[in-house]
Amino acid sequence: MPENAPEELKIPKGSYAAGRRVTLPDGAEQPVVVFINGVAQTEGTDYVLRGNEILFTREIIKETKTGKKKLVMLLGVVGFYNKNETIDVQFVKNGKTELAGDLPVSE
């Protein structure tokens, strides 16, 4: 990532670019609403739907969690504030609105 990249596009230490693709849950139908960290995204600007996939226009950033960091977090000794974006999707399935949280991101 270039040094002069906008702040929201920089990958902080302890995080990594996880990818741009998320697979919709089985049976998901329109309308689909996509959220990053609880903020609704705009189709066409932030992402596009292609079949059963969401393709984002930028990389999704995830936190690198080492064994030591997981232990420290579990014990609640120290807080860590690395960037860790979560993808949530609201969709219709069998006529009912459902929400799938923290979906996995792939290349």
Each residue's pLDDT tens digit, 57-99: 999 999 886 655 555 555 665 555 567 899 999 999 999 999 9
How distant is the alpha carbon of residue 75 from its chain centre? 26
Q: In this predicted model, what pLDDT tens digit does every residue of 6-31 receive, in sequence order?
A: 555 678 787 889 999 999 999 999 99
Helix (H, G, I), strand (E, B) or coil at 75: helix
Separation CA 92–CA 69 (nearest Å)? 37
> What pLDDT does residue 22 have?
98
Element housing 50 (H / E): strand 47-50
> What pLDDT does residue 10 have?
77
